[in-house]
Amino acid sequence: MRRLVPQNLRELLSVRDFVLLWSGGTVSLFGDGIYFVTIAWEVYRLSNAPTALGVVSAAFGLPQVLLLLLGGVLSDRLDRRLVMLLGNVVSGVMIAGLGTLVLLHQLRLWEIVVLVAVYGISQAFFLPASRAIVPSLIRPELVAPAMAVEQFVEPLTSGLLGPAVGGVLIAAGGTGLAFLLDAGTFLVAGAALAAMASSQPDPAAADAVAASGRFAVLSEIREGLRFVRGLPWIWAGLCAAGIANIALTGPLTVLIPYLIKYRLHAGPETLGLFGACGGLGAILTAIYVGWRGVPRRDVNWIFLSWTIGTAALVPMGLAGAAWELLPLSFVTVSGIALGNVIWFSRMGVEVPGHILGRVASLDMMVSFSLTPLSSAVTGPLAAAIGARQVLILAGALGAVVPVLFLLLVPGLLGSHRAVGDALS
C-alpha cells in the first residue's frame, strides 16, 4: 500500500497535460493569495468603512453565483481548455487594470467594483471548466491522487505563501506592484493552458446535452435534489454549512482587515500573516487526515469541526492585540478544512458516480451564493453595532447551528459509516 501512492503520483506527474494544468494552476493560486490581501488593503486605503470592502467582495462573488450554471453548460459544450484560457486572459487584464490605475494614482472605489465584477464573471466560466477538465486528462484511478495534490497545493499557495508575500509586497512597493504581480500569474497560467492539447468534451455527453434541451437539464437537476433530500447528512450539512458560511465569510474577509488596521493598529504584514496562519492550518489538517485517515464517526466530526472553526470568531472579536488573531486564524481554517475534507471524502464514497456532479454542483452553489450575501450585510451590521460585536455574534451563530442540526436531525448523531470502511 505504501508503494502504491508514490507509484500513482509518479504516473500522474508523467501526464504532460496534467502537469501543465497543475503547474499553471499552482502559480495562479499563489496569485490569488496575493490578490485577497491586496484588494482588502487597497479598498481600506480609499475608504475606512467596512461596507466598502463588503460591496467589493459582493461584486466579485455575485456574478459567479448568477453565471455559474451557464459556465457549467459551456464547459460541457466547448473546449474546456479554451474556456479556461479565455477566463485567465480576462482575469489577468482586470487585475492588471487595478495595478495600473493604482500606479497612476487614478483608482477610485467604483472602478474597483467594476473591474472586480468582470473578474468575477470570468471566474464563473473558468471554475466549472477547471473542475471538469481533470478527469478528461488522466485515467480514472489517477483522479484521487490528482485531487489530493490539489488539496495540498491550494492552501499552501493561496492560503500560506500568497498572503505572506502579498503583505510584504504591499509594505515594500505598494498595492500597485502586488496587483501587477498577481496579473503576471494569470499570464503564466494562460501560457501553460496554451501549451496543452485541446480538451474537447466527451462526444456522447455533448450529443446528449444538445439533444435533450433545457427541460431535460431541469429534470436532471430535480433528480439531484431528490437524491439530496433522501440523505439527511447531506441536506442537513448543506443547511448547516450555508448558515455557517453566512456567519463566517463576511466577518472574516471584511472585518478582520478593518480590525487589524484601525482597531489593533497593525500593518499589512500582519494581515498577510493572518492568512498565512490559516493556510498552514489547512495544510497540516490535510496531512493529518492523509496520515491518520478519516475519523470513524465521520458525520459527527463534520459538524463539530465546522462548529470549532466558526466559534473562533468570538475570541477574534475580543482580541486586544494583533498577534492574538494569528492562532485563531489557524483554528478557524483548520476546523473548516477538517470538516470539508471529511465531507468531500464521504460524498465521494456514498454518492453514486452518475449523480455526483449534480450533488457537488449544488454544494458549490450553496457555498458561492451565500458568500456575497455575507459580505454585503457585514459592513452595514458593523456600522450599526460595531465590528467586534458582529464578530462575536457571527461566531456564536455559526457555532450553535451545526450542533443543533447534529442533535435534532434523526440519524446524524453517532453515525459511523466510516469513509475508511468503504475504501478498505
> pLDDT, tens digit, for every residue of 290-318?
666 667 778 888 899 999 999 999 999 99
Q: Which of 2-11, 127-136, 275-284 has the highest mean pLDDT?
A: 275-284
- Tell which of 154, 184, 201 closes a domain: 201
The pLDDT of residue 1 is 41
Domain enclosing residue 409, as ranges: 208-424
- Tell which of 167, 201, 235 closes a domain: 201
Distances (CA, A) of 233 to 63, 129, 237, 238: 29, 28, 6, 8
Q: Note whether 384 and 247 are same-domain residues.
A: yes
DSSP codes of every residue in 51-84? HHHHHHHHHHHHHHHHHHHHHHHHHHHS-HHHHH
* CB contact at 8 A, 334 and 281: yes
The pLDDT of residue 418 is 45
Mean per-residue pLDDT, 351-356: 58
d(CA 332, CA 290): 20
Q: How buried is 386 (Cβ within 10 angstroms: 0-12 exposed, 13-18 middle, 19+ buried)? A: middle
Q: Note whether 257 and 313 are same-domain residues.
A: yes
Q: How confident is the model at residue 31 (pLDDT cuts 50, 70, 90)?
A: very high
The pLDDT of residue 391 is 95
pLDDT > 90 fraction of the chain, expressed in percent and rounded: 27
Tell me what the pLDDT averaged over the chain comes to. Answer: 81
End-to-end CA, the chain: 11
Q: Note whether 137 and 242 are same-domain residues.
A: no
Q: How confident is the model at residue 381 (pLDDT cuts 50, 70, 90)?
A: very high
Q: Note whether 143 and 233 are same-domain residues.
A: no
* Long-range contacts at 143-146 (CB < 8 A, ≥ 24 apart): 145/5, 145/8, 145/9, 145/12, 146/12, 146/18, 146/22
Answer whether residue 420 shows pLDDT above 60. no
Q: Note whether 135 and 257 are same-domain residues.
A: no
Q: Note whether 326 and 349 are same-domain residues.
A: yes
> pLDDT, tens digit, for every residue of 245-261?
888 988 988 899 989 98
pLDDT > 70 fraction of the chain, expressed in percent and rounded: 80
Q: Which residue do the cell numbers 431541469 mark?
A: 218
> pLDDT, tens digit, for every residue of 260-286?
988 898 888 888 889 888 888 888 887
Mean per-residue pLDDT, 374-384: 86
Q: How many CB atoms lie within 10 A of CB 140?
A: 8
Mean per-residue pLDDT, 226-237: 86
Tell me phi and psi for residue 112, to 5 degrees: -60, -45
Q: Which carries the bigger pLDDT value, residue 25 or residue 413?
A: 25
Answer whether residue 202 shows pLDDT above 60. no
Q: Note whether 180 and 223 are same-domain residues.
A: no
> pLDDT, tens digit, for every residue of 388-406?
999 999 999 988 998 899 8
The pLDDT of residue 325 is 94
Q: Between vectors from CA 125 to CA 120 and to CA 128, what angle results, nearest 5°?
A: 115
Q: Which residue do the cell numbers 504591499 mark?
A: 170
Three-state DSSP at 264 gives coil
Answer whether residue 128 shows pLDDT above 60. yes
Answer whether residue 218 shows pLDDT above 70. no
Q: Note whether 158 and 257 are same-domain residues.
A: no
Q: How confident is the model at residue 199 (pLDDT cuts 50, 70, 90)?
A: low
- Tell which of 169, 201, 233 closes a domain: 201
Angle between the N-to-C axes of helices 80-103 and 109-137, in degrees from 0 to 180, rounded to the nearest 10: 150
Q: Note whether 219 and 334 are same-domain residues.
A: yes
Three-state DSSP at 113 gives helix
Query: What percent of the residues of the chain are helix, what percent strand, and what percent coil, each to the nearest 5?
Result: 85, 0, 15
Q: Note whether 250 and 194 are same-domain residues.
A: no
CATH of the domain at 173: 1.20.1250.20
Number of domains comprising the chain: 2
Q: Note whether 1 and 105 are same-domain residues.
A: yes
Q: Note whether 197 and 214 are same-domain residues.
A: no
